Chain A
């Protein structure tokens, strides 16, 4: 579904991602764990088109999207829940949800999101900026889902969120994957959430994927050690 081939990404002259490749299949949840500053956000930004590629190729469902602007990638089926969530602070919850949706907006789809995240229905007229971190995270996921993605990117979705809500988010992600046969690529610093949701796990270090395990074969102790160095 998502095919990343030998991509190079950096800021100015300094390279961050050097020749990275991986694939994510249809309906698969792929996890990428790594410590601070290892390049997770840089990778996700280049996938959605906020940062240009310096080399390599990204294809989505067989279509090359490497040169597309972000909004075109979204149109072709990619969506992102960025680190820090980036809710539009002065738009209402409802407006945030439909900001990227195709017009006319389907109220059925909005209701579907509300039933996944009931808190959003309660707060639909509130300004996005006035929501708590956990609520904003749910809103950001809802906003991404409203664009009907084939591949959903989530960059550190549990950052600064309490454990009970993290469990909710994990459950919801798996539910959405099952419902829509969605491909999900998710990054994290902490392992527990990852072990809960992913089917396949990568470890990223200094802009390269240094390890790949199927969920069933993950040695949690070894990976925890890699993350704590």
Chain B
């Protein structure tokens, strides 16, 4: 293997890692939003991602069966639907379950884990245990070829653009809208926020809902890099948690940097080792870094009082 080939491998695996980065980033953003807002660790976050993926699959079969000519266009619509459905279910879950368990982190952990099992079983009953893959539109399937040795998949670029757009949208939402202001105030001082007139319970519900909605978008993005099974979500949840812990909870920049680092490390290491060994090496790497920086890469400076 000469230097040129090695370089090509790095670039290609780098681009392969970009899809994973996008999915992890979206997962991490949602988790961090929910954790930063309410201190809730949502164990069912992966299942919300799976909901987004199944929604995409459902849209694809529907279009294929009834209106094949719309196949090139359905994907963006499926992304929106994935967001809406996951956000709606998130709001319902917050109302029915999570809000009763605030201030009891262990119970929330258990309850959301239970929820994840229920959701997995539901997927199994509806879609079967076999993994499914939506038919992706033609335009997502090709690749650029800047040199002979390098292939850049279009779907990777698309998913990256999607993830960056969602991140940008979230930043605007948090820092430029009245609701984002209320959310930031509530994180800083819940009791005082209530005493200036903010309905903090509503803020909680919306934050949880949006976090789940973003997981739904992650699920739609996920369908471009893997097939969806009932337990797809649970396979990504650990990585998503790593992103949050590694990046420092409730810090957007940290989430972006750590998602990128984790995805790239995994994808490049996976080429040289195999999948499992790549994962183990990544984990080891993170554990070592956390030993030196226990507060994560970018510790959150905001503490609720």
Q: Which residues of A contact B (CB under 8 A)?
A: 48-50, 69-71, 74-75, 79-80, 82, 86, 88-91, 95, 98-100, 103, 105, 143-144, 147
At the interface, yes or no: B122 with Cβ under 8 Å from chain A? no
Q: List CB contacts (< 8 Å) of B166-190 with chain A.
A: 178, 181-182, 184-185, 188-189
- Of the candidates B181, B191, B199, B302, the one whose C-beta lies within 8 Å of that of A99 is B181
Q: Taking the nearest CB of chain A, how far is it from the CB of B101, in angstroms?
A: 19
Q: Are A71 and B197 in contact (CB under 8 A)?
A: yes
The CA-CA distance from A206 to B286 in the complex, in Å, is: 56
Contact partner, B181, options A74, A98, A143, Cβ 8 Å: A98
Interface centre among A49, A91, A99, A103 (most CB of B within 10 A): A99
Q: In the bound complex, do residue A88 and residue B185 qualify as a contact, i.e. CB atoms below 8 Å apart?
A: yes
| A105→B191 CA distance, assembly (Å) | 22
Beta-carbon contact of B195 and A50 below 8 Å: yes
Bound state CA distance, A147 and B193, in angstroms?
12
Residues of A near B301 (CB, < 8 A) are: 90
Contacts of A70 in B (CB 8 A): 191, 194-195, 197
CB neighbors of A among B188-224 (8 A): 188-189, 191-200
Q: Are B198 and A82 in contact (CB under 8 A)?
A: no
A48 CB contacts on chain B under 8 angstroms: 195
Knowing A50-B191, A103-B178, say if A91 contacts B184 (CB, 8 Å): yes
Minimum CB distance partner of A69 in chain B: B194
Which A residues are in CB contact (< 8 Å) with B185? 88, 91, 95, 99
Known contacts A91-B181, A95-B181, A71 near B188 by CB under 8 Å: no
What are 9 inter-chain pairs, A to B, with CB distance below 8 A? A50-B194, A71-B195, A79-B197, A82-B195, A88-B189, A89-B188, A90-B184, A99-B193, A143-B196
Q: Which residue of B lies closest to A95 (CB)?
A: B181
A103 contact set on B, CB distance < 8 A: 178
Bound form: Cα–Cα A90–B36 in Å: 14
Residues B196 and A90 in contact, CB atoms below 8 Å apart = no
Q: Is the interface of B mostly helix, strand, loop or mixed?
A: helix
Of the residues A69, A74, A89, contact of B196 by C-beta under 8 Å: A74
Number of residue pairs A-B, CB distance < 8 angstroms: 65
- Min CB distance, A128 to chain B, in Å? 9
* Closest Cβ neighbor of A149 among chain B residues: B197
Q: Is the CB of B198 within 8 A of A100?
A: yes
**Is A99 a contact of B198 with CB atoms below 8 Å?**
yes
Rounded to whole angstroms, the CA-CA distance of A69 and B202 in the bound complex is 12
**B178 near A74 (CB under 8 angstroms)?**
no
Q: A74-B197, A80-B195, A88-B184 are in contact. List 19 more A-B contacts (CB 8 A).
A: A69-B199, A70-B191, A70-B194, A70-B195, A71-B195, A71-B198, A71-B199, A74-B195, A75-B197, A79-B196, A88-B192, A90-B184, A91-B181, A99-B181, A99-B185, A99-B196, A143-B196, A147-B196, A147-B197
Contact between A71 and B184, CB atoms less than 8 A apart: no
Residue of A whose beta carbon sits closest to that of B203: A71
Q: Are A90 and B302 in contact (CB under 8 A)?
A: yes
Task: Choose among A82, A90, A100 the residue that contacts B188 (Cβ–Cβ < 8 A).
Answer: A90
Q: Closest CB-CB distance, A168 to chain B, in whole Å?
A: 23
Judge whether B197 and A91 touch: CB under 8 Å.
no
Taking a contact as CB atoms under 8 Å apart, the answer to whether B198 and A86 are in contact is no
Q: Is the CB of A71 within 8 A of B178?
A: no
Report the 8 A-B pairs with minimum CB-CB distance, sorted nearest first.
A100-B196, A74-B197, A100-B197, A70-B194, A86-B192, A103-B178, A70-B195, A88-B188
Which residues does chain B contribute within 8 Å of A80, judged by CB atoms? Answer: 195
Bound CA–CA A71/B200 (angstroms): 8
A166 to B50, CA, bound (A): 59
Residues of A close to B199: CB separation below 8 A: 69, 71
Which chain B residues lie closer than 8 Å to A69 at the CB level?
A: 194, 199
- Bound: A86/B185 CA distance, A: 11
* Pair A86/B181 contact, Cβ less than 8 Å: no
Whether A144 and B196, one on each chain, are in contact in the complex, defined by CB atoms closer than 8 angstroms, is yes
Q: A86-B189, A90-B301 are in contact. Are A49 and B195 (CB under 8 A)?
A: yes
Contacts of A143 in B (CB 8 A): 196
Question: Smallest Cβ distance from A6 to chain B, in angstroms?
Answer: 23
The distance in angstroms between the C-alpha atoms of A90 and B302, with both chains bound, is 7
Contacts of B178 in A (CB 8 A): 98, 103, 105
Across the interface, which residues of B come within 8 angstroms of A100, CB to CB? 196-198
Q: Which of B280-305 contact A (CB under 8 A)?
A: 301-302
| Residue among B192, B197, B198, B301 with most chain A CB within 10 A | B197
Q: How far is the CA of A50 from the CA of B193 in the complex (A)?
A: 11
Complexed CA–CA distance, A91 and B189 (Å): 11
